[in-house]
Chain A
Amino acid sequence: DTEVTQTPKHLVMGMTNKKSLKCEQHMGHRAMYWYKQKAKKPPELMFVYSYEKLSINESVPSRFSPECPNSSLLNLHLHALQPEDSALYLCASSPPRTRANTGELFFGEGSRLTVL
């Protein structure tokens, strides 16, 4: 299994809603990432989890709350979002770097979020 699975694929929410994005991988990767991508722009790093612990938070507003319940799952909880938060949210995972492994990112298909 070499997939990163994200659900839902599309999400429309109001500014007062609470929703969650989910990400799952079964490749044994111990680093998992959330990226935000606007149209025709590169992915912007939001959070990195390493061995289920939050290791990087790129000064993301608190209306985005990540959670890593176990080594295979990554959630992004959304609350009181703004219309400018509308974007494609990408989850990725990566294996540890070794002599035989460059530790590249494996991306999911993304969750396209629209905030009304």
Chain B
Amino acid sequence: AQTVTQSQPEMSVQEAETVTLSCTYDTSENNYYLFWYKQPPSRQMILVIRQEAYKQQNATENRFSVNFQKAAKSFSLKISDSQLGDTAMYFCAFSDFNKFYFGSGTKLNVKP
């Protein structure tokens, strides 16, 4: 069975600083996809960034980037120049076929 672990229940960062959220997963599959989703308070869950396991290059989307270590089964999210609007729950997710497995989430607070 696939599992996703986020070991940081809550984190804080000052505005404009950089923060890294951790995620590890366990799978015996070789082809899969990894995602980070953001869920602001009382708002819709949206995709932040995605990574295909067969791609060695780490994905980047503006201020968001990942450090994908396939052998270590690690998929961390780095947020640069943190903004107040980044305050949210962040969920790491793993997907093989049409099933998605979510981590327990990390609550990120960006402080002014």
Binding site for B on A (CB under 8 A): 31, 40-43, 45, 48, 50, 55-56, 90, 94, 97, 102-110
Contacts and interface: CB of A to CB of B under 8 A. Distances in A.
A86 to B, nearest CB: 16
Contact of A102 (B33, B45, B105): B33
Interface residues of B, number: 22
A107 B44 contact: yes
Contacts of A42: 91, 102-105
B52 A50 contact: no
Contacts of A45: 99-100
Given A41-B105, A102-B33, A109-B43, A94 B50 contact: no
Nearest to A48: B98
B103 to A, nearest CB: 6
Contacts of B98: 31, 48, 50, 55-56, 94, 103
Given A48-B98, A110-B44, 14 more contacts: A40-B89, A42-B104, A50-B98, A56-B99, A94-B98, A102-B50, A104-B33, A104-B47, A105-B100, A107-B37, A107-B44, A107-B45, A109-B43, A109-B44
The SS class assigned to the B binding surface is strand
Contacts of B104: 41-42
A65 to B, nearest CB: 21
